[in-house]
A and B are shown apart, each in its own frame.
Chain A
Amino acid sequence: MEGRPLDDIALVERAKNGDVNAYESLVQHYQELAFRVAYQVTGNAADAEDAAQEAFVNAYYALGRFRSGAPFKPWLCRIVANEARNRRTSAQRRTVLAERALVAQSSGDSAQSPEDAAEANEFRSTLVATVQRLKEDDRLILAYRLFFDLSEAEMAEALNVPKGTVKSRLSRALERLRAALPADIRMPSPAGDSDG
């Protein structure tokens, strides 16, 4: 990821000058992020796919208004989230979210005993189900920071809020997540990896 913003600046400039290949490279690089951001909002793969695709097309047409040298990633996130909101209906969201609370079963933690792995999976399933029940604003801010690793400045841009309020919003979202977790939840045994 190091150096990526510089690549983005060059690619955005080329795309602004009508280089469709350059824009395709940007889409290639950010399509997973865009789809996942949209999915956090819609909770539905088909809507997330539509929203992400539409966001990329709209972002292309809006490149003329995009300030040269500004970071592309949070700007894109904002467009994607808006597109996704336009597609989501609350009824649809409730149905879909209720259908799936399955976490990808972790197969990579070979250092764990089967019991520990099962415990870790159960913990994650609970966490996912609880995150999904949060309000969209809370879910999005947690996802930006902790899933997608946006900086505070990037989050402010993506959420279209003043930079000074990002920290407090994040901490309130964490607070509400904690309050929504089952009272008897506890951290699983460490997996043995320290990737922090």
Chain B
Amino acid sequence: MADPRLLTDVELERALRDLGPRYPYPTTPNLASRVRNRIVAQPIARPRRLELWRDPRRLALVAAVLLVLLGAAAVANPATRDAIAHFFHVRGVIVNREASPLPSFSPVTPLDLGRRTTMEDAQSSVSFKIAVPAGLGDPDAVYIASGIPGGEVELAYLPRPGIPLVKQTALGILITEFRGDLVPGFIGKGLGPGTTLQETSVNGDPGWWIAGEPHMIYVDIHGNGQQVTLRMAANTLIWEHAGVTYRIESGLSKADAFGIAAGLP
């Protein structure tokens, strides 16, 4: 006979299972409404400050990508220079074709859309008329970056039926508007072999439809090269009208993206 004072495994497990419902927890607070209020007030994750210099691997990756995007290759190679020059027809955006597949990484830097604000405040902070596509209605959140010449606005739409979630942004649709004529290198794009780039015409203006595999995007959010967003982006329609560059990033088809663009200048 075993020592009657010792608990067997079975007894101990049974005792713990029996304890579970009686464990002295404090009363569970009602979190549901508080969580809901926070999500409604801030539909998009607040960007975390990321100190790149403290992470040498990310810093090296950012540096390597920037080098390519800013056209360093063009200086060395006349053929590449021609190719990059060819890609300059939407002002404010530099597109570069990469010969080899892009490294697949989760966002290198957090999505930083600038400062969240109201539409009225955003309008007073930029030097152009903010256009909202009639078909989509008011955005769920409006962000501005006022540090760059002419200002920049981001209109964020959450996913909803017919507007799928985009993994790269955790949004449904992201529309960017800025003065492409004033900030030539505001956006840089690196496209791997799995991404297609089509020259297109949007409402009669020159543009691109970028689709397929996610591509790399670099945004100099404050216009000083110090705080950049470098991440993978989904299907994008981008064009310029009267000095303003428009960009629609979504998981939508080309036809649907053009449908939204039709409601913009």
Contact = CB atoms under 8 A, between A and B. Distances in A.
Tell me the dominant secondary structure on chain A's binding face.
helix
B30 interface: yes
For chain A, give the interface size range. 35 or more
A102 B26 CA distance: 11
A102 B24 contact: yes
Interface string B1-38: 00011010101111111111011111011111111101
Q: Give the 5 A-B residue pairs with the shortest CB-CB distance, closest first.
A: A61-B45, A18-B158, A147-B20, A45-B26, A64-B170
B16 A127 contact: yes
> Which residue among A27, A63, A65, A123 has the maximum number of chain B CB atoms within 10 Å of its CB?
A27
Contacts of A31: 28-32
Interface string A89-105: 00000000000101110
Interface in B142-159: 158-159
30 contacts: A17-B159, A17-B160, A17-B164, A18-B160, A23-B35, A24-B32, A24-B36, A27-B35, A28-B32, A35-B29, A36-B23, A36-B28, A53-B35, A56-B35, A57-B39, A61-B45, A65-B167, A102-B24, A103-B19, A106-B22, A127-B15, A131-B16, A146-B16, A147-B23, A174-B12, A181-B7, A183-B5, A187-B15, A195-B18, A196-B14
Contacts of A177: 12
Contacts of B19: 103, 124, 127-128, 131, 146-147
Contacts of A72: none
A23 B170 contact: no
Interface string A53-74: 1001110111111000000000
A167 interface: no
A140 interface: no
A185 to B, nearest CB: 7
Contact of B165 (A64, A106, A185): A64
B28 A186 contact: no
B86 to A, nearest CB: 34
Interface string A156-196: 00000000000000010010011001011111000100011
A41 interface: no
Contacts of A146: 13, 16-17, 19-20
B131 interface: no
A162 to B, nearest CB: 22
B104 to A, nearest CB: 14
A56 B4 contact: no
A32 B28 contact: yes
A91 to B, nearest CB: 20
Contact of B7 (A56, A63, A178): A178
Given A187-B7, A196-B14, A52 B160 contact: no
Contacts of A102: 24
Interface of A: 16-18, 20, 23-24, 27-28, 31-32, 34-36, 39, 45, 48-49, 52-53, 56-58, 60-65, 100, 102-104, 106, 123-124, 127-128, 131, 142, 146-149, 171, 174, 177-178, 181, 183-187, 191, 195-196
Given A17-B161, A57-B39, A178-B12, A35 B4 contact: no
B40 interface: yes
A20 B36 contact: yes
Contacts of A148: 20
A57 B37 CA distance: 10
A101 to B, nearest CB: 8
B138 to A, nearest CB: 14
B172 interface: yes
Nearest to B42: A57
Contacts of A196: 14, 17
B31 A34 contact: yes
B31 A52 contact: yes
A123 B15 contact: yes
A103 to B, nearest CB: 5
Interface string B28-65: 11111111101110001100000000000000000000
A164 to B, nearest CB: 20
Contacts of B25: 35-36, 39
